[in-house]
Chains A and B, each alone.
Chain A
Amino acid sequence: MKKNNMVAMILAGGRGSRLFDLTKKVAKPAVHFGGKYRIIDFALSNCANSHISTVGVLVQYESILLSSYSARSSTWGLDSKGGGVYVLSPREKDETGLGLYAGTADAIYQNLDFLDQEEADYVLVLSGDHIYKMDYDKMLKCHQESGAEATIAVIEVPMKEASRFGIMNTDENDRIVEFEEKPKQPKSNLASMGVYIFSYKNLKKYLKEDAKNPDSQHDFGKNLIPAYLNDGLKLQAYRFKGYWKDVGTISSLWEANMDLLEDNSGLDLFDPDWKIYTDDASATPQCIGENAKINNAFITQGAIVNGEVSRSVIFSGAQVEEGAKVEDSVIMNNAVIGKGAKLVRCLVADDVRVPDGMKLGKKNSEDILLVSKASIAKAGEDHE
């Protein structure tokens, strides 16, 4: 039996409806990010780098791509004997029949047999849609030393933004005394990162009780954590310092990409000791043409730039054709920016072809324009 065995469970079933067309056919964790990655690469690479060998990925919404992608354990080096990435989708069961995951806690509850089988001592619950680099092993040490039943990773956010987050109110030893979901009058600025470590024995007990409760929404934040607190179980806050971003909206996804252009964003992808692993596209090196102009960009292999690019991120296989101008934008995989097209503050989805000469986005607009196949078709109609 493995000692102190921690099994990671990545919650990756959500649709991410605020990403609109980006998540029409693809679950949010599988959306591309930062040139060559998918969002879930961060959670999976963090697990691999934290010496976790068994990872469950809980999928539900539009899961074909996400499941097949996650199942290739070797991408993250998670293909050791006895370990691996296990894709866990809702299944038909002998006693209860077919049931979808009703909430985050229910998703784990429905896979208690998996956790039993893996002989988990600790369960690390993660979100599949956050961009950050974190050593979960250090967090486990904190969990063990404090003797808590659950440890929740928290990050300090600006007080004026605190009402957008789940806020942990703690005592002087960082023991959590109260949890408030999006409080109007926040008492603290410690936001939950959606990263939890539970000692398995009690987690199993509480999940079983929660499953029986017809009034529960079967959610970690709304139901399970309050139940722990009510019963006086010890909950510890683990303070994380560093870059962390929830990329749930077009503008936050754009911002997180733009952060890669900064030297001091706190997200260092160049660090050889904590690489973020991803599917290796057998793409050519990036090709920068004779008339190209590049001023501050993050560009990956397979990209071809013959136009002008400033303050932008160019993904694998994307092309910026001659005379095109791309500014403050994110150009996702295999998108083509046609000759002479001009883009400002845009996020161009995978495989979109922006027609020659088309102008999209506004320099001073507050919003980021999502350019999808549908929006190009519509722009074409309006033009006519």
Chain B
Amino acid sequence: MSKVLGILNFEPSYVHVRGLEDFRPISATSILGRYRIIDFMLSNFTNSNVESIKVFIKNRPRSTVEHISHTSYNLNSKRGKIQLLHGDVDYKNNELFNVDVQAFHTYMDFIDQENASYVVVAPSHFIFKQDFNEIVEEHIKSKNDITILCHSTTNADRRYLMGDLLKLDDNKRVTEMYKNRGKNKKAVVSLETYVMSALTFKQLVEEAVMTSSLYSFSDIVADCVRPMKIGTYQHRGFVACISTLNAYYEANMEIKNEKEMLKLINDDWPIYTMTNDSCPTLYKPGAKVTGSIVANGCQIEGTVINSVIGRNVVVKEGAVIKDSVILPDTLVDKNVKLECAVVDRLSIITHIKELKGSKEEPIYIKRGDRI
């Protein structure tokens, strides 16, 4: 089989996950208690037997570097390679110029070295399960220049905002690619996953760099709708686009459901992550837990309803956590009541006894805060 190179792109400029983004790239954000968002896309790659993967990081690389270097993702440790390349080397002073094609361009040598026939560019702020081989096979058969993974949604008025929407002709080819300004509910949304030959990839990057220093990869693909043949591949399963805090919260809440979770993560499609060697979770006498997912290493004495509890979280007696996402290493002290909250890592909530957000606008407690 022809060699496929995986390129895990960094988040585009429309992604703003309030609070969480101040501390790490979105890809390294904890999700579902024990994973990082990036684990889903990297496991898609390795479960599809893609052995060479370039991971691009926009800025604040520490957490991604640490996480990836301690996770095997089931790659052969000699043949397989995940290389981390980060974008802000030359653009420290102006985030505006820190766009994906500039990073691709800077590191084109490393991409060339792989001698891959095909390139799969995948996003780091999406969660979905996808065998990339299927798209590559379909792409080769179709003789298209580019194949875009897409998804039909009825939520385009409130999700995927500023992402790319696609207009398709009868042959499912793209006739237009435009930004989602939330006008319609029904739309075909691009999952920002592109399959093409390595040559086409290189050409597109060159062209983008020459056109504008603000151009992103999706901009240049949008420009190519006319001169090139751009096909689509339909994704029909669960999709989460983590572009806002609300989307992050909703993704946790939706995947938390047992059936949904087992569709996304199972023995046939494992999601690899870094082990922390935490012991199992202790539910002490008096604990009440329902409708929740809980990571290992927690000590729970209080009440947890309909929530996601991260690794090594302590919930003291009388505390009530409802409809919330608690990131790892957090302490929720006695009699504290949390509702619709996203509590970032390493924070301690002890003095404020009640915090309540709404499902539309969850309250955010910042990393390491002591309140």
Contacts and interface: CB of A to CB of B under 8 A. Distances in A.
Contacts of B289: 288, 292, 294
Most chain A Cβ neighbours within 10 Å, of B262, B283, B299, B306: B283
A288 B279 contact: no
B271 A36 contact: no
Contact of B271 (A282, A299, A300): A282
Contact of B275 (A280, A287, A289, A298): A280
A34 interface: yes
B283 A294 contact: yes
B335 interface: no
A36 B311 CA distance: 15
A288 B293 contact: yes
B292 interface: yes
Contacts of A146: none
Most chain A Cβ neighbours within 10 Å, of B275, B279, B287: B279
Contacts of A278: 277
Given A288-B292, A289-B291, A282 B280 contact: no
A97 B306 CA distance: 64
Contacts of A261: 282
B66 interface: no
Most chain B Cβ neighbours within 10 Å, of A277, A280, A285, A304: A285
A170 interface: no
Interface string B291-306: 1111111010000001
B270 A287 contact: no
A282 B273 contact: yes
Contacts of B214: none
Nearest to B295: A285
Nearest to A286: B294
Contacts of B275: 280
A313 B280 CA distance: 9
Nearest to A36: B280
Given A296-B284, A301-B295, A270 B290 contact: no
A300 B282 CA distance: 9
A291 interface: yes
A299 B281 contact: yes
Contacts of B125: none
B272 interface: yes
B261 A287 contact: yes
Contacts of A270: 279, 282, 297, 299
A240 to B, nearest CB: 21
A73 to B, nearest CB: 13
Secondary structure call for the B interface: loop
B222 interface: no
B32 interface: yes
B283 A295 contact: yes
B258 interface: yes
Contact of B280 (A275, A280, A290, A300): A300
A261 B300 CA distance: 12
B43 to A, nearest CB: 9
B362 interface: no
A295 B285 contact: yes
Contacts of A16: none
Contacts of A166: none
Nearest to B296: A301
Contact of B296 (A36, A291, A295, A313): A36
Contacts of A100: none
Contact of B281 (A275, A290, A298): A298
Secondary structure call for the A interface: loop
B270 A296 contact: no
Interface string A261-290: 101000001100001111010101111111
B283 A292 contact: no
B231 interface: no
B277 A275 contact: yes
Nearest to A316: B280
B322 interface: no
A290 B292 CA distance: 8
B293 A285 contact: yes
Most chain A Cβ neighbours within 10 Å, of B33, B285, B289, B299: B289
Nearest to A270: B279
Nearest to A284: B265
A234 B32 CA distance: 57
Contacts of B293: 284-288
A197 interface: no
A278 to B, nearest CB: 7
Contacts of B271: 282
B34 interface: yes
B262 A284 contact: yes
A277 B34 CA distance: 17
Contact of A35 (B279, B284, B286, B295): B279
A169 B290 CA distance: 54
A36 B291 CA distance: 22
Given A276-B279, A295-B283, A301-B34, A282 B270 contact: yes
Contacts of B296: 36, 285-286, 300-301
Nearest to A269: B279
A291 B265 contact: no
B78 to A, nearest CB: 14
Nearest to A279: B275
B277 A277 contact: yes
Interface in B232-280: 258, 261-262, 265, 270-273, 275, 277-280
A297 interface: yes
B274 to A, nearest CB: 9
A34 B290 contact: no
B337 to A, nearest CB: 20
Interface of A: 34-36, 260-261, 263, 269-270, 275-278, 280, 282, 284-301, 304, 306, 313
13 contacts: A35-B279, A269-B280, A285-B294, A286-B296, A288-B290, A288-B291, A289-B291, A290-B291, A296-B284, A297-B283, A298-B282, A299-B294, A301-B280
Interface of B: 32-34, 258, 261-262, 265, 270-273, 275, 277-297, 299, 306, 308
Given A269-B279, A286-B294, A300-B281, 6 more contacts: A261-B282, A280-B277, A284-B32, A288-B290, A292-B290, A296-B283
Nearest 9 pairs of A and B residues by beta carbon: A269-B279, A280-B275, A35-B280, A300-B280, A282-B270, A290-B291, A285-B293, A285-B33, A296-B285
